[in-house]
Amino acid sequence: MSRIAGRLWDRLAQEALAARRAAYAPYSRFKVGAALLTDDGTIIRGCNVENASFGLCLCAERNAIGTAVTMGYRSFQALAIATPSSPPGPPCGMCLQTLAEHCSDLDLLLVNPAGERQRTKLRRLLPHAFCGKGVRPPAHLL
């Protein structure tokens, strides 16, 4: 069961939808926003930022995680993701793996501008995540 109260889910949904409006998506026109809730209650936004070289695009979820880590946050409770699709879309595989690196039990809320919502858990979308436990860098990098 989620430890997030209903009003906080509403706020996360609003923040993700607001972040979505800031997205830079001139190629796909698929704007995505994310609102990441840290363990201390801070909400950090992210949006997708596309690039003509598609491999360089940055997803909203990874943007939010990168911003949070840059700000010194390492522990997260929940993430709301706003997509234009119906039903609301889940994170891509790269984002799922990035999220699993930081919080394998993350609560997720998928939303869209029409008001549709779906709650789930990261471990449900990525049940066998590679968590890197015991992974060591090559000896020449130590």
Active-site residue list: 61
CA 76 to CA 13: how far, in whole Å?
16
**Is the CB of residue 62 less than 8 Å from the CB of residue 98?**
yes
Listed residue (41, 48, 43, 83) closest to 62, CA to CA: 48
